[in-house]
A and B are shown apart, each in its own frame.
Chain A
Amino acid sequence: MIAGILERNPRLANWIWGFKPPERSPIILVHRRVYILPARLGMLFAATLAILLVGAINYALALGFALTFLLAGLGLVGMVHTARNLARIGVSIGRAEPVFAGESAQFRLYLDGRVRYDRPAILARHVGSGSQFVIDIPAQSVVEVVLAVPARRRGWLPLGRVLLETRFPLGLFRAWSYVEPDARCLVYPRPQRSPLPAPLAEAAAGALRSQAAGNDDFSGLRAYQFSDSPRHVAWKAVARSDDMLTKQFTGESAAELWLDWRLLPAALELEQRLSRLAGWVLAAERGGALYGLRLPGLEIAPARGGAHAAACLQALALYQPS
C-alpha cells in the first residue's frame, strides 16, 4: 500500500527517500538516506529474547539475565552495524554502451566503500527490472556492478531507481537506501532486416546518374533473399555471423549508398521505418559500403566505419518527427 502511495506521489517519495532524482554521481549515501527496520529474523530473535527473559525471571538466574541482556545489547549493536555497512557508500556510474531496442542495457555502477573496513553482502538491485547482484566491497576499494535493464523503446533509457540493501552482520535488521543516478543508455531502434536499397537509389528517384545493379563489381552485402543465387552468397561473411548475406555487385565501384527515409513504402509507420533504416545501416556497415542517411530534416553524409554507423544509429534513435 505504502509502495503504491509513493508511486503515485513522486514528490513525497523523494522527500522520504531523501533525494531528488536523478542525482549527479558520485552519490554518497549519507546516514539520513539509510533506512533500517527489523527483518523477519529480527522478530524471531526478539521472541527468543522474550522467552529467555521470562526464563531468567522465573528461575531467578543471574546469568540468565546476563545472557538475555548481552543478546539484547547485541541486537542493538547489530542495528548500528547494519546501518554502518551501508552508510556513506559512494555510488558512481560508468558508461553504458548503446544497445538495440529489445536487448538489455548494461548499466555499470561503481560502489565505492570509502572506508578502511570491508562492507560484505550488499545487494544492488534495479527496482524496475529486478536485475540484481550481491557484492562484497573490500576495504578501501571500488566494486563494479553491471545491472542489465531491458531496453524496450528507442531513445534515451534512464537507469531509474536502484535499491542498495544489506543485512550484515547479524541478519536481524534490513538497512536499505535508494539511489537514482543520472545514468542513461542510448537505445537504437530495433533493426529490421530488409534488402538494402540499390546504390544511388536517388537515380531511380530522378537523379542525374543512372546505374543498374550488375554482376561486375562487388559493391557490398545485403540480406539474403530466397531468389538469390547460391553462388552469390557471401559464405565467408556467413561463417563470421549468423546472417545469410548476399554479395551485391554493381557495374561501378565505390558506389554511394543512400539510406533514405523516402525509399521506404509510404504506408510504413514511423517506428517501422526507423527499424528498417537501422537494419540498413547495419547491413551497409557490414558490407563495407559507403553509405549516408537521410531523414526528414537531417542528412548524414556518406562514410563508413563504426563511428559513422553509431552516428547514424543515434540519429535514428533520437529522431523525433516534427
Chain B
Amino acid sequence: MKGVPHPLSPEFRLVTMRDLLLLCGSLALVVAPHATRAPWWITLLALCLYAWRIHYSLNPAPLPARWLVISIAALAMLGVWLEYRTLFGRQPGIVLLMLFSGLKLLETRTHRDAAAAAFLGYFLIITNFLYTQSIPTALAMGAAVFAITATLIGLSAPNRAPRANLGTAALLLAHAVPAAAALFLLFPRVQGPLWGLPQDAYAGMTGLSETMSPGTLSRLALSDSIAFRAEFDGAPPGPSLRYWRGPVLWDFDGRTWRIGAQSVASFAAPAGSSATYRYSVVLEPHNRAWLFALETAAMLPQGSRYTTDGMLLAGAPVRGRMRYDLSSVITPRSALDERPGDLARALRLPAGSNPRARVLAAEWRAASRSDSEVLARALGFLRQGGYVYTLEPPLLGTDSVDEFLFGTKAGFCEHFSSAFVVLMRAAGLPARVVTGYQGGELNPVDRIITVRQSDAHAWAEVHVSGHGWRRFDPTAAAAPNRVDSGLARSLPETQQALFMRRELEWLRSLRHQWEAVAHKWNVWVLGYNPERQRELMSHLGMRNADWRGLIAMLFTVLGITTALLLAWSLRRMPRPDPVQRAWRAFCSKLAARGIERSPSEGPRDFAERAARSLPSARRAILRIGALYIGLRYGREANPRRASDLRRLVREFRPA
C-alpha cells in the first residue's frame, strides 16, 4: 500500500515487554511437564534460553546475532543426538521442540515472531498428550491454551489493559466451545496411524511382558498405574475369585520364563458353567496383544483370537485405551483333549539346573501314590516352610529356584509360582506359569473394579490327568491374605505404598470418587473413537452415517453456531435510528430533484421550501416533515407513527 509501513501488520509491530513476558510465561507452562521428563541438561538449557530472553526484555539491548542463535541450535541438536543417537524419535523430537521454543524467543522481535512462537506453544501442548491425557493434564493444558490465547490478544492490542485482554481470551474460548464440541463429535474420525510411528512411540507403557524372571513382578507391583477397569452387570465375584488371566509362560531356562511358541485355536466355551459374569473391560494401552479375562472366559471379545493355552489376543498390540465386552464363568477349567506335544513341553526343564529342587520333587514322587498327593505335599511344603511374602526379595543367581526354596526363603509371587512349577515338572506333572492380575479394587462409587499394576500376579496351572489343567496358587499357600484381601494386607506395613495404608480410609474414599470421574473421562472423552461416533449417529437417527453425512451435519451445526454468534455480536449494538434513516432517504430523494438541504436548514424550513418548489408533492412533503419533527423532537415515541413515516418516505416519488 504505497510503501508506508502498515501499522497493524505483524511484520512491523515490535513486541512490548509485557507481551514478551506473557509469551515466555505461557510457553513455560506448556514446556514444564516435558522438563520433568527430559534429560537434565536440556531442561537447564531451555531454562537458560528463556531466562536470557527475559533478561533482554528487561534490559533492552540488541538481541543476540543470528549466527549465535543458529550455532546454539546446532550444538543443541548435536547434544540431543549424542543423548538419543537419533533426532527423529518421539522423545528427541519433543526435546528439540522444547529447545526451539527457547531459541525462537531469542529471535523474537516483532508481533509476527511472537505469534509464531505462540503457535509453536499450541503445538507443544499436543506433545504433552503423548504421555498422559488425564484430567489434570487436560486442565493444565486448558490453562496453557488460555494463556497463549491471551498472549495473542495482547499482541494485537498492546495498549489495552492486560485484565481486559484476559477477559477477551475467556470470552473467545467460551464462544469457541460449541463449535469445538460439534467438531469433536461430528468430525469424521479416521483410525490412525496414518504412517509408521517412531520406534519409541509406545515407550513408557507398563504392564506384563512375555518373560518373567525373579524381580519382574515385584518391580511392576510397585507401580500404582491402572492396568484395566472392569464393570460388571450385576454383582462382581469376590476378590479371591478374581484371577484375571494373561500371558501363559511355558519355557524355562533355569531363571527366566518365556511365552514361547503360540498357536491359535478355535474357541470352545467351557462346559458345565455355573455362574456367568457379564462385564466390560477398559484396558489401558500396554503395547502387547493379549487381553485379560476373568478366569475362565466363556466367549471371545469381538475381533480377538484364542490360543491353545487359553490366551485372548487382540488383532494388534493394544496402543490405545481399548474397550471390550466379555463373559466369564468361575469354574475349574477342564480341557481334557490336551495335545501330547503340549504336555511334553510342560514337563521340560533345563538340564542340570536347580538340582536340589529336582531331588526334592523326586522324593515326593517316590513317596506318593497319586498326582494329588504330590500336589498336596508341594503345597504343604510351601505353607509350612517358613516362606516370607515380600515386595523386596533378595537377589537370586542362576539356580533361582534352589536359592529361593532352600536359601533366601523370601519372595514375591513370581518366586512362588516359578518354584512350584519347577517342582511339579520335576515330579512328572505337566505344569506352566500363568501371569495376570489378581483381585482389583471395587470402587463403591461407581461399582467398577480397578485393577492396577500392583495387582500383578503369577500362579501355576498343573495338568492333572482326568481333570485337565487346574489352577494352583502357590503364593496363596504361603501368604493366604494375598488372595483374600489383596497385596496391601499381605505385606508388612513398611512395604506398603501410601495409597495402600489401611488407616488412610478417607484418602481411599477420595481416591474412589476421583477414579469414578476418571473412568467416565476415559470412556466418554478419551474413548471417543470411530465406533462411538457411529453409535452416536445412530442414536441421532443417522444409521450408517458415512463421512459425507457427518460433514453435512457438521457444517450445519457450525453454521448455526456461527450465525448465533453473529446475532449475539450485533445484539448489543444500537441500530441506525429508523426515523433518522427515513428522513435521510427523504432528503436524498429531494436532493435528486435538485432540492438540497443546507446543513444550517432546520427540518421545518426545509420541508416548507421543498413544498414551495414542488407544489405537486406539497401535501406529502409537509406530512413527512411534520411526522419527522414530531418523532424527532417531540416527546412521543410512537412506533405506529415511525412506521407511517417510513411508509410515506418509501412511497414518496417527487414528480
A37 within 8 A of B: no
Query: What 0/1 pattern do residues 143 to 185 of B give for CB contact below 8 A with A?
Result: 0010001001101111110001000100011011111110110
A28 within 8 A of B: yes
Query: Known: A57-B192, A60-B193, A62-B133. Contact between A171 and B10, CB under 8 A?
Result: yes
Contact A168 B126 (CB under 8 A): no
Query: Known: A41-B115, A59-B130. Contact between A168 and B157, CB under 8 A?
Result: yes
* A166 to B176 alpha-carbon distance, docked (Å): 20
Contact B172 A74 (CB under 8 A): yes
B48 within 8 A of A: no
Query: Known: A63-B137, A80-B562. Contact between A169 and B177, CB under 8 A?
Result: no
A:9-61 near B, CB below 8 Å: 24, 28, 30-31, 39-41, 44-45, 48, 51-52, 54-61
* A166 to B123 alpha-carbon distance, docked (Å): 26
Chain A contacts of B573 at CB under 8 A? Answer: 87-88, 114-115
Contact A48 B156 (CB under 8 A): no
Dominant secondary structure of chain B at its interface with chain A: helix
Contact B574 A114 (CB under 8 A): yes
Contact A73 B178 (CB under 8 A): yes
Contact A171 B126 (CB under 8 A): no
Contact B191 A120 (CB under 8 A): no
A118 within 8 A of B: yes
A210 CB to closest chain B CB (Å) equals 47
A64 within 8 A of B: yes
Contact A63 B141 (CB under 8 A): yes
B2 within 8 A of A: yes
B88 within 8 A of A: no
Chain A contacts of B123 at CB under 8 A? Answer: 48, 51-52
Chain B contacts of A130 at CB under 8 A? Answer: 1-4
B652 within 8 A of A: no
B525 within 8 A of A: yes
Contact A171 B115 (CB under 8 A): yes
* A51 to B180 alpha-carbon distance, docked (Å): 17
Query: Contacting A67 at CB < 8 Å: which of B125, B157, B159, B528?
Result: B125
B318 CB to closest chain A CB (Å) equals 12
Chain B contacts of A56 at CB under 8 A? Answer: 126
B:557-588 near A, CB below 8 Å: 558, 562, 565-566, 569-570, 572-576, 584
Chain B residue with Cβ nearest A65: B184
* A77 to B180 alpha-carbon distance, docked (Å): 10
Chain A contacts of B6 at CB under 8 A? Answer: 123
B221 CB to closest chain A CB (Å) equals 29
Contact B193 A132 (CB under 8 A): no
* A73 to B180 alpha-carbon distance, docked (Å): 5
Query: Known: A44-B115, A134-B8. Contact between A63 and B526, CB under 8 A?
Result: yes
Chain B residue with Cβ nearest A72: B183
Chain A residue with Cβ nearest B185: A69
Chain A residue with Cβ nearest B526: A62
B:190-216 near A, CB below 8 Å: 190-195, 197, 201
Chain B residue with Cβ nearest A80: B565
Contact A30 B576 (CB under 8 A): yes
Contact A74 B176 (CB under 8 A): yes
Contact A59 B197 (CB under 8 A): yes
Chain A residue with Cβ nearest B112: A41
Contact A121 B156 (CB under 8 A): yes
Chain A contacts of B195 at CB under 8 A? Answer: 58
A154 within 8 A of B: no
Q: Which residue, of B3, B572, B575, has the highest number of chain A Cβ atoms within 10 A?
A: B572
Contact A81 B569 (CB under 8 A): yes
A76 within 8 A of B: yes
Contact A121 B187 (CB under 8 A): no
Contact A87 B569 (CB under 8 A): yes
B138 within 8 A of A: yes
Contact B172 A78 (CB under 8 A): yes
B:483-520 near A, CB below 8 Å: none
A83 within 8 A of B: yes
Chain B contacts of A57 at CB under 8 A? Answer: 190, 192-194
B406 within 8 A of A: no
A167 within 8 A of B: yes
A243 within 8 A of B: no
Contact B141 A59 (CB under 8 A): no
Chain A residue with Cβ nearest B128: A63
Query: Known: A121-B156, A136-B159. Contact between A48 and B570, CB under 8 A?
Result: no
Query: Contacting B576 at CB < 8 Å: which of A28, A63, A165?
Result: A28
Contact A121 B122 (CB under 8 A): no
Contact B172 A77 (CB under 8 A): yes
Contact A67 B145 (CB under 8 A): yes
Chain B residue with Cβ nearest A116: B572
B527 within 8 A of A: yes
B:383-400 near A, CB below 8 Å: none
* A117 to B171 alpha-carbon distance, docked (Å): 13
A84 within 8 A of B: yes
* A171 to B172 alpha-carbon distance, docked (Å): 13
Query: What 0/1 pattern do residues 67 to 101 of A give for CB contact below 8 A with B?
Result: 11111111011101101100110000000000000
Chain B contacts of A123 at CB under 8 A? Answer: 6-8
Chain B contacts of A295 at CB under 8 A? Answer: none
Contact B138 A63 (CB under 8 A): yes
Contact A77 B126 (CB under 8 A): no
Query: What 0/1 pattern do residues 596 to 630 of B give for CB contact below 8 A with A?
Result: 00000000000000000000000000000000000
B:508-546 near A, CB below 8 Å: 525-529
B286 within 8 A of A: no
Q: A59-B193, A67-B126 are in contact. List 18 more A-B contacts (CB 8 A).
A: A39-B10, A52-B123, A57-B193, A57-B194, A59-B129, A59-B197, A61-B129, A63-B141, A77-B175, A116-B572, A117-B572, A118-B164, A121-B159, A134-B8, A136-B157, A136-B160, A171-B10, A171-B152
A/B interface sample: 17 pairs, CB < 8 A: A41-B112, A51-B123, A52-B126, A63-B141, A66-B138, A67-B141, A67-B145, A68-B183, A81-B175, A115-B573, A121-B156, A121-B157, A130-B1, A134-B8, A169-B152, A170-B149, A170-B153
Identify the 5 closest CB pairs spanning chains A and B, nearest first: A73-B176, A73-B179, A69-B183, A130-B4, A120-B157
